[in-house]
Amino acid sequence: ISPPRVNAANPSTVSAARVNAAKLSAISAARINAVNPSAVTAV
């Protein structure tokens, strides 16, 4: 986690972190769906 000063000075780092977080959440969601496909139908 970068200090607020770095984030304010370099917004591209913040956006990159958000993209990485989105990718990680998508991967974790895909893993959960693969392990428990019934969760997909529930949603």
pLDDT digits (tens, 9 = 90+) for 8-35: 557 788 788 888 888 988 888 888 878 8
Instruction: Report the distance separating Cα 25 and Cα 11, nearest Å.
Output: 21
pTM: 0.45
Are the beta carbons of 32 and 39 closer than 8 angstroms?
Answer: yes
Are the beta carbons of 14 and 7 closer than 8 angstroms?
Answer: yes
The pLDDT score that the predictor gives to residue 39 is: 57
Are the beta carbons of 1 and 7 closer than 8 angstroms?
Answer: no
Residue 41 has pLDDT above 80, yes or no: no
Are the beta carbons of 16 and 22 closer than 8 angstroms?
Answer: no
- Structural domain spans, the chain: 4-42
Residue 3 has pLDDT above 60, yes or no: no
